[in-house]
Amino acid sequence: MTKRKGIVFAPYGPVWRKQRKFCHATLRNFGLGRLSLEPCILQGLATIKTELQRLNEVSGGAGVDLAPLISNAVSNVICSLILGQRFHHEDHEFRTMLDLMVRGLEICINSPAVLINIFPLLYYLPFGVFKELRQVEGDITAFLKRIIANHRETLDPANPRDLTDMYLIEMLAQQSAGEEGSSFTEDYLFYIIGDLFIAGTDTTTNSVLWILLYMVSHPDIQDEVQAEIDKVVGRHRVPSLTDKGSLPFTEATIMEVQRLTVVVPLAIPHMASETTEFRGYTIPKGTVVVPNLWSVHRDPTVWDDPDTFNPARFLDDEGKLLRKECFIPFGIGRRVCMGEQLAKMELFLMVTSLLQAFRFRLPERTPPPNLQGRFGLTLAPCSYSVCVSPRG
Ligand code: HEM
């Protein structure tokens, strides 16, 4: 569907390298991996907190679904960076886009539409999931193209607002320098924006939802995380990225949930760019290779009791955080996740701020939650409700 353009599904080579380098450098300029992005993340968190307070008052002890609020706050961070825009959590069109994105990923991987990878003509079938997929793609395309067109019309090269502006400026510079065959085109920009919008929303949202689900399933661990936050940050100061080094148990808990849940369990399909010999196997050039991150995270030769939730495995005897080579939720190598630093910032701030402010628990008389998840390129938790009470 992305016509080998963008970043995520672009083939390895000079065009991918140039585009990834440009986008990564530009996102860094706008705050990716830097303390300067903290207010942008906290802004979304403030909305979630206000809404959760309100829902707690009106729900009368019934559970609330956290997914819409969290996906909105997460998506607004990447939207600020790439589109210079935030969307209200009740914005109907934006909500529809987020829902379509989830549905699109599900159809692509977990329905007969997966066969399009082998028989591309199936894409044009006028019924069922094939038709639905084209509809989803069409709606997301129209939404993003409208925003890009608006950027083109209001572009002020002296005051770039976001990645889209920076890209348009680079594109115009290459055109006026007469660069033949430059890959910087508006068409390419569209696929890049689509990639970043999707990769930057679904993955982090699901990670936060998994962490909160594990917290309600393991209230003793939730207690421990909250005790650490209370001790280091207190109840009133908003947690900051500068607290990261002082909250090892909280970090270990985030990592342990990421280890067990692996939100991108099969990474992104790779392709052998040369014929390669590996452990006695010949992998011909062009072979699609699917990295199984899930199996690495559950490998009993690497992890003691791999199916058990145990944040302490990421701590040494003095309670300091341990880095483990086989912990690879963002993949490894040249195609490693481009948003790793951004995702880590978001996960840390969201988890610490939410657990500082609220106690999360399962509603009375509900069966134990399903920890298997729902697979659709990313592994999402099955939808769940929780009771949220302010900690005061
Ligand atoms: C917890 C959140 C996230 C997880 C677990 C995650 C995980 C991954 C994984 C496993 C890959 C594939 C690596 C491979 O194929 O070997 C990937 C690729 C990618 N991710 Fe993320 N990701 C997250 C958040 C983000 C965010 C916030 C962004 C936004 C900038 C992003 C942008 C990308 C891009 C552009 C690629 C493709 C890189 C390339 O092919 O060169 N990701 N991610």
**Confidence band of 125 (pLDDT split at 50, 70, 90):** very high
Give dist(CA 73, CA 76) in Å, integer.
5
Residue nearest to atom 43 of ligand 1 (CA): 337
Residue 10 beta carbon below 6 angstroms from any ligand 1 atom: no
Q: Does position 381 have pLDDT exceeding 80, yes or no?
A: yes
State residue 4's pLDDT score.
86
Query: Which single residue is written with the structure tokens 């949930």?
Result: 257
Q: Alpha helices, DSSP H only, in the chain?
A: 14-29, 38-59, 67-83, 92-109, 128-154, 163-176, 186-199, 202-217, 219-232, 248-261, 293-297, 340-357
Residue nearest to atom 11 of ligand 1 (CA): 337
Q: Which two tokens stand for residue 27?
A: 């996102």
Q: Does position 72 have pLDDT exceeding 80, yes or no?
A: yes
Closest ligand 1 atom to Cα of 27? 30
231 CA from centroid of ligand 1 (Å): 33
**Contact in structure between 212 and 386 (CB atoms under 8 Å):** yes
**Residue 165 included in any domain:** yes
Residue 20 beta carbon below 6 angstroms from any ligand 1 atom: yes
**Residue 3 included in any domain:** no
pLDDT per residue as tens digits for the range 343-373: 999 999 999 999 999 999 999 888 888 999 9
Domain that holds residue 299: 14-384
Q: Does position 392 have pLDDT exceeding 80, yes or no?
A: no
Q: Does position 109 have pLDDT exceeding 80, yes or no?
A: no
8 CA from centroid of ligand 1 (Å): 8
Query: What's the CA dihedral at 334, 336, 338, 340 to 10 degrees?
Result: -140
Residue 263 beta carbon below 6 angstroms from any ligand 1 atom: yes
**Residue 9 included in any domain:** no
**Alpha-carbon dihedral sign for residues 188, 199, 141, 160:** negative
Residue 331 beta carbon below 6 angstroms from any ligand 1 atom: yes
Bridge partners of 359? 389
Residue 196 beta carbon below 6 angstroms from any ligand 1 atom: yes
Among 201, 330, 378, which is best to mutate for testing ligand 1, by the most ligand atoms less than 8 A from CB?
Answer: 330
Residue 310 beta carbon below 6 angstroms from any ligand 1 atom: no
**Residue 391 included in any domain:** no
pLDDT per residue as tens digits for the range 208-267: 999 999 999 999 999 999 999 999 999 999 999 999 999 999 999 999 999 999 999 999
**Residue 5 included in any domain:** no
24 CA from centroid of ligand 1 (Å): 12
**Residue 2 included in any domain:** no
**Residue 122 included in any domain:** yes
Q: Does position 46 have pLDDT exceeding 90, yes or no?
A: yes
State the amino acid at position 65 in one-letter form: D
State residue 297's pLDDT score.
98
State residue 251's pLDDT score.
98
**Residue 211 included in any domain:** yes
For residue 358, what is the domain's CATH number? 1.10.630.10
Mean pLDDT of 319-323: 95
187 CA from centroid of ligand 1 (Å): 22
Residue 31 beta carbon below 6 angstroms from any ligand 1 atom: no
State residue 343's pLDDT score.
97
Give dist(CA 388, CA 72) in Å, integer.
18
State the amino acid at position 331 in one-letter form: G
**Contact in structure between 348 and 342 (CB atoms under 8 Å):** no
Among 337, 350, 377, 379, which is best to mutate for testing ligand 1, by the most ligand atoms less than 8 A from CB?
Answer: 337
Q: Does position 59 have pLDDT exceeding 80, yes or no?
A: no
> Is 187 strand, coil or helix?
helix
Query: Which single residue is written with the structure tokens 């329905």?
Result: 111
Give dist(CA 228, CA 84) in Å, integer.
35
339 CA from centroid of ligand 1 (Å): 6
Share of the chain above pLDDT 90, in %: 80
State residue 110's pLDDT score.
80
Residue 108, marked binder: no
**Confidence band of 3 (pLDDT split at 50, 70, 90):** confident
**Confidence band of 105 (pLDDT split at 50, 70, 90):** confident
Give me the number of domains the chain comprises. 1
State residue 180's pLDDT score.
79
State residue 179's pLDDT score.
79
State residue 116's pLDDT score.
87
